[in-house]
Structure 1
């Protein structure tokens, strides 16, 4: 059983020996309350189950991913922790905290793993690597034209192995792999910064996943669980004259920006705040990040990695979110 990068308790992925997390207990209690009310699990749009839970006893349903058939009564039983989904007569359980299943329109952060013919393979924390076609990127010159053989030969000058990029999911192939695109000035190659890996299920889906926080840090919250933190707008490379469209549609040259020690400390503090939110299994979005950052100001940056401090920050953020929910 694997642990994630920040050392959280291992998530349930099946098997006889497992560690039950607080999230598992909370989901189990919610499911027990639903059963006490007599609600049918499979009829709900989003019902969370744990391994061993009977999803449905009705006949005629097809077994999908995350389920298996009980030989004794032919009922469908969940094999992972996740949300029950039904498409017509197909019942599946989408796992939580495990492999990322992308959807069209998701913002992801990934790392180039291989340069292939007219495409790049990108690690996006999913079951399969993402595919970024040469025709799905903006050329360095900014012109719109068909890609030629010269462009294919110079692919490593644009993106090479190890580069970190931000992209958007354009479509899903039949085998489940994801097609990416970077046809926007807010996507593309990322410069200096730090990459944090968290469970993809705690990244809150929002309209905007790229934020310039008041603490002077830019953060890209990838739906795939990869979070990119940079002291520069959108993580642009310093010392490179990149062009960006302004409100009038004209291209303006970005000025060279130097990274100071204060910028590095702000990035490190926000990284530790994300680790605290992940440890407490709290949703990660711009508001929760600022709550955690403000709660961490009374500690030194290195002290934020202490378990007691991480727990305290998680409780403070949980209280702030409860007050926010009560006020709304």
Structure 2
């Protein structure tokens, strides 16, 4: 739970503390601190993973976090750790420098990431060698402060993190908001790109804690016969409709509030929170007020309790 700086009255404070206590009691994972003993069955030939150590025949935690078990592997997952890139991660970053044949991006990591010109899908869509002309035109693709979506390609021998954007779903992001949340609140999933049709909004949950909420972009690929030029066109309007901008702001405030409460960010929880604010006729700017924070914590506590009862009844 992150520090909340809210102007709560006495009733709201009691309600919030009650909801947070219930959420903590419903947590399925066991939280540990340094030197805590982790209960295990030694007859199962347990494998001790990250954040654990063997002392006097007992498995103890060397980090503060949550105990996780995957088959025979036992490890401690730190809750407030920095982002640790893995190959295949979907990330959102901001261009901070244009260097020879590469862009440097800030991705909420201990060092900047590199997107090579050769790892970028060119605007004309043609698969070919990059020339000196392409290098001169790099600024026409991305320039400083542009927000970019890409995929982690891997680490190079010099330790630098390399990205790739060889698909139409990657590239420059426009007409939206970039939000920063703690990376541990975004879990790795099969799908990080979400088109919220009811809002006509795109939601990208970057594994690095950068989240993009923006106007939906339709990308069409036109592939002609072999040897002909392959083109891709993006439907672009001259402005973002007012209603869409309101949806973007409402969803962005939902992300901000859920992040402050320390809830794991999923597309379902974000949309449910936005819909709850709309159904309660809560104005967009009032979503960050004390009362809606309390209501959201109470609603999440009730949802988790109902889910626990449902699973227990099976």
On the 8 A contact 1:276/1:311 being kept in 2, the answer is: no
Residues 98-137 of structure 1, C-alpha deviation per residue, up to 9 Å, x if partnerless?
Answer: 3211101110000001111111111010111111001000
Instruction: Establish whether residue 295 from structure 1 lines up as the match of residue 279 from structure 2.
Output: no
Instruction: Establish whether residue 319 from structure 1 lines up as the match of residue 287 from structure 2.
Output: no
Which residue in 2 is equivalent to 1:244? Answer: 220
On the 8 A contact 1:231/1:263 being kept in 2, the answer is: yes
Determine helix, strand or coil for the equivalent of 1:253.
strand
Q: Which runs of 5+ in 1 are unaligned?
A: 1-6, 11-20, 60-74, 86-90, 235-242
Return the match for 1:55 from 53, 56, 71.
53
On the 8 A contact 1:276/1:314 being kept in 2, the answer is: no
Determine helix, strand or coil for the equivalent of 1:267.
helix
Which residue in 2 is equivalent to 1:272? Answer: 253
On the 8 A contact 2:30/2:67 being kept in 1, the answer is: no
Q: Which runs of 5+ in 2 are unaligned?
A: 5-19
Which residue in 2 is equivalent to 1:157? Answer: 140
On the 8 A contact 1:292/1:314 being kept in 2, the answer is: no
Which residue in 1 is equivalent to 2:175? Answer: 192
Determine helix, strand or coil for the equivalent of 1:136.
strand
On the 8 A contact 2:217/2:234 being kept in 1, the answer is: no
Instruction: Compute the RMSD of aligned alpha carbons.
Output: 3.8
Which residue in 1 is equivalent to 2:16? Answer: none
Return the match for 1:218 from 153, 177, 202.
202
Determine helix, strand or coil for the equivalent of 2:213.
strand
With normalisation by structure 1, the TM-score equals 0.71
Return the match for 1:230 from 206, 211, 214.
214
With normalisation by structure 2, the TM-score equals 0.74
On the 8 A contact 1:279/1:310 being kept in 2, the answer is: no
- Correspondence list, 1:123-162, <5 A: 123-162=106-145
- Correspondence list, 1:103-118, <5 A: 103-118=86-101
Residues 134-153 of structure 1, C-alpha deviation per residue, up to 9 Å, x if partnerless?
Answer: 10001122111111112112
